[in-house]
Structure 1
C-alpha cells in the first residue's frame, strides 16, 4: 500500500523575490535516502576509488556543473585526474573543459611535471585566440563595424555554427577545482580558479581522529585579498570592485572564459552582445561596459597546492572537492552558517568513517547533512519545494580515496 503523501508550506527567505509560502512534500525517514539518490547523477571510477555526484533538485533547472574522473597517460605512467567545473552564464565553457582540457594537460605535463598551472592558462588563452581569429581586425575597426556585419559573422549556426560556438565559450565561464595524483600515489597537486573548495582528509590509523587541510583558495570578490589584488592592478578605478563583485557584476575573480572581463569593452559591446541568443540578462552586461577601462579584471592564473603524501605520517587519505553550491547550502541558512574551517572539518568527519568502504554512502551522508542533517522537514523541503525559480545552486561533489 503506498504511503500517505503529506504536504506543508514554508517561506523561503532569500530564494527569489517571492518568499512564498511554497508547498513541499514531507517524506518519512526511510524514504529520504532514495529521494536524495533520485535527484543525483553519479559516476564511479572503475577502481571504485573516485566518485562524482551532481545534485540539482529543481525540476526546471539545467545543471551547469561538470566533472572529470580520468586517467592520464604520461611518459612516466598513469596519472589520476579528478576535477569539478562550475559553469556560469551557461554550460558551454564547462563542456569544453571536459572535452579538451585533458589533452592540454597531457601536452603541458609531458615529459616532466614542472608548471602544472600552465595548461589551464594555455587553455583559456587558446579560447581567446579562437575568438580573435574570427575578428582579426583591430579595436578601432571593430568599433566602426556595422552590427549587421558582426551578427552575420558570429551567428553562423546555419553553416555549422563554428564561430558561434567559439564566441559562446568565451562569453560563458567556469571555475575549476582539479586534482592530479602521480603514478606512485605519493605526490598530489590541487589547482583552483574560482570559489570551489578542495579538502584533504588524513589520519594516522583507524583509531586516530581525522585531520583536515583546505587545499584551495577563495577567488571571489568577498575575499579581501582577492579584492585588494584587483584594486592594486587597477588603482585609478574605484569601481573595479564593488558590492563584492568584479566591475559590480561577477562574483568570481578567477575563471576560465568570462572574456567580457578580460578583453577591451568593444568586444563585449560590438561582438558578445550581438550573439544570438547571447547573455541571459543583456542589461546586466551593458551596465558594466563603461567600467571596463583596463582589462583583464578576471584572472586565468590558477592557485596551486602541492602535498607530498610520502613524507606525511598519515596512512589514510581522501580528497573532497565541491562546487560552491555545497557551501551555499549552509551559508544561505543563517541558523547553520559557520566558518569554512569548521565546516570542512565537519565534512571530513562525516565522510571519513565510510569513504573507503562505501564511497557512495559517504557522498549521501554529506548531502544529507548539507540539506538539513537530521531535520526531516528541512531535508524534505529542500528536495521538493515547488518554487518556480531555482532555489538552490548547482551542487557537485567529487570524492577520491588516495
Structure 2
C-alpha cells in the first residue's frame, strides 16, 4: 500500500460533522491528498475511516479583555488527531479549544506558530567553543523530545592527560575528547545511567591500557587493537554493573523499594554511541552499541563534501547481525523474528534490556520476590543481547575541516547520510560567507537567504547493510526537491539539521510535528539527539571550553554565560 502523504489539509465541514463538531465554527475545504499516516515505520498505513459520532467538546471561557480584542485576532490553526490520521484546520479569530476532545483518544490542539515552533526547537540547544588548539574547536548539540519525558540522553567530556600517560614531545599533556549519545527505550533510566557513567568507565580502562603500554621500552602508545579492547571492556563492565551486579545487590537487601531503584536501568534499555578522539595521534574511535549512527563529513578537492558512515545500525534487519545471532543460538528459529530479537527488541546490541539477558530462573525469582513479568516462551539460551560495541578507527584531518555528526536513530529515519553532511557543509559555507560580510568569526556570521540549489555533497544514498533508510519521508509523502525543502536559519548546526529533518521550508509541517503532544507525537517522530563536532584548531587559544552564546539556548532573558560555568567545567 502506498504511504499516505503528509499534507497540511484543511478540515472540511463534512468530515467534521461525521466525527465531532465545535459549535459549527470549524469549516474549510478538504484537500485532495491524504493526511499523514501515523503508522509505525515497520507497518503499513491503515485506511482512514470516519464514523458518524456527533460529539461536542468543551471550550475555554473568554475573558472580557479577550473578547474585546477578539475581532483583531488572526484565525488560529489547529491540529485534529485520532488513531488513524492527522489534519490541520483553522478556527475563527478569538475561538479557543480544549486539548481533551472525548474518551476515544481524539484530540484537537492549537498549532504552534512558526515562531513558537522555532522556540521549542531551540529550547535545548547547546554550543561550545573548544580553545584547546588540539584538533577540535567547536561542537553543537540539540535535543528535541517526542516521549515525555525524553528517553534520549548525551554526555561530553574532555580529559587532559599528563605526560605520564601519553608522552607528547613539546607538550605537557594531550587531550582525550569524548562525545556520547544514548537512545533509551522502555524508559529513560538506562540512558541516564550511561550519561553518568559510560565515559568515566571507558576513560578508566583507557588509562590502564595506556599506562601498561609505557612499561614496554619499545612502545610509546598502545596498539589500536588494545585501545579498541579497552573501550569494549568499559562498555561491558558498565552493562554488567547494570544487569548483573544490580541483581546481586537486591537479593542481599530484599526490599521492593530498593529493587525498584536499583533494577530500573536493567529493566529499561539504551543504545550507546561513543566517539573518542585522541589529540596526539588524531585518531577517532567510534564505538556503537545499537542503532545510533556516526557519519563523517570531509571536503574533497572539488569543494564538495563526502559522507562516510563510521558505524552500522545494529538491528535484526542487519544481515550480519542476524547471522551472528543465529550462529550464537543454533536451532532457535525465532532468535530473529520480523527483524527483532525474539520478535520484540529491534536493537541486537544494547545496555540494560535484562529480560533478554537474565536467565529464566533469575527472572522468575525477581518476579516472585519483587515484581516483573513472565519470561517469554521463546527465551531458551540467554543472553541474546550484548552491550559489546563494534569499534571503528578513522584518521582525522583537522586542517581540512572534517566534521562528525552523531545522532540517535530518530534523525536517520528522516534524512540520509548524504543529506545530513550536505546540510552541515552548506551551513558552514553560509557561516563563512556571513563572516566575510560582517568581519566577525564565521561562527557568529550572518545568514544568506538566497536559493541554495542542490546540496554540496557527492554520492547518493545507498541501501548498505545496517543503514536505516529515511522511512519517515516516505511516510509523510515528501517529494520536494532539495532546493524546495531546506533552509538556513539557525546558528547551531545541530538545530539546523533537525529543523530541516522535520520540515525545513515547510513551516506548517514543522509546526505540526512540534505541536503534537506525547504520546501522539511518537507515531510520527522519535526523540532526537544530534551532535556536530568540528575538527580544526580555530582562533581561540585560551585553553578553555566556553559557551558559544549565539548558538546556545538562554533559559531566561537575564541569564549569562558565566551562570553556566559549572556546566562548562564539567566538559573539561
- Corresponding residue for residue 52 of structure 2: none
Which gives a bigger RCO, structure 1 or 2 (Cα 8 Å, sep 6+)?
Answer: 1
Q: How far does the alpha carbon of each residue in 1:303-337 deviate from its partner, in whole angstroms, 9 at most, with x for none?
A: 11100125x9x71111101111112346xxxxxxx
- Corresponding residue for residue 321 of structure 2: 226
Alignment partners' CA distance in 1, 2:142 and 2:296: 18
Q: How far does the alpha carbon of each residue in 1:144-177 deviate from its partner, in whole angstroms, 9 at most, with x for none?
A: xxxxxxxx8141x3xxx3x443322222211011
Alignment partners' CA distance in 2, 1:120 and 1:388: 31
- Corresponding residue for residue 142 of structure 1: none
Verify the 8 A CA contact 1:82 1:180 in the aligned structure 2: yes
Verify the 8 A CA contact 1:12 1:21 in the aligned structure 2: no
What is the alpha-carbon root mean square deviation over aligned residues?
3.0
Alignment partners' CA distance in 2, 1:351 and 1:268: 47
Cα distance change on mapping 1:272 and 1:191 into 2, 3 Å: farther
Aligned length: 353
User: Which consecutive unaligned segments of at least 5 residues does structure 2 have?
Assistant: 1-71, 87-103, 131-136, 167-173, 211-221, 432-441, 444-489, 536-572
- TM-score computed with the length of structure 2 as normaliser: 0.56
Of 154, 174, 195, which aligns to 1:67? 154
Verify the 8 A CA contact 1:154 1:167 in the aligned structure 2: no
Of 220, 225, 238, which aligns to 2:333? 238
* Paired residue secondary structure (1:110): helix
- Corresponding residue for residue 339 of structure 1: none
- Corresponding residue for residue 289 of structure 1: 376
Verify the 8 A CA contact 1:45 1:69 in the aligned structure 2: no
Verify the 8 A CA contact 1:13 1:19 in the aligned structure 2: no
- Corresponding residue for residue 403 of structure 2: 318
2:418 is aligned with 1:303: no
Alignment partners' CA distance in 1, 2:73 and 2:159: 48
Alignment partners' CA distance in 2, 1:172 and 1:8: 32
* Paired residue secondary structure (1:229): helix
- TM-score computed with the length of structure 1 as normaliser: 0.78
Verify the 8 A CA contact 2:406 2:531 in the aligned structure 1: yes
Cα distance change on mapping 1:367 and 1:3 into 2, 3 Å: farther
Residues 97-106 or 392-401, more deviating? 97-106
Of 159, 179, 185, which aligns to 2:275? 179
Cα distance change on mapping 1:24 and 1:292 into 2, 3 Å: same
> What's the offset of the Cα at 1:274?
5.6
Of 375, 395, 401, which aligns to 2:528? 395
Structure 2 matches for 1:2-401, cutoff 5 A? 4-9=75-80, 13=84, 23=109, 25=111, 27-28=113-114, 32-37=117-122, 40-47=123-130, 49-56=138-145, 61-74=148-161, 75-76=165-166, 77-111=174-208, 112=210, 114=227, 115=229, 116-134=231-249, 153-155=254-256, 157=257, 161=258, 163-184=259-280, 186-204=282-300, 208-271=303-366, 275=370, 282=373, 286=374, 289-310=376-397, 315-329=400-414, 343-355=416-428, 357-358=442-443, 360-386=491-517, 389-391=520-522, 392-401=525-534
Cα distance change on mapping 1:298 and 1:168 into 2, 3 Å: same
* Paired residue secondary structure (2:254): helix
* Paired residue secondary structure (2:427): coil
> What's the offset of the Cα at 1:132?
4.3
Cα distance change on mapping 1:399 and 1:304 into 2, 3 Å: same
Alignment partners' CA distance in 2, 1:67 and 1:26: 27
* Paired residue secondary structure (1:299): coil
* Paired residue secondary structure (1:290): coil
Alignment partners' CA distance in 2, 1:275 and 1:14: 41
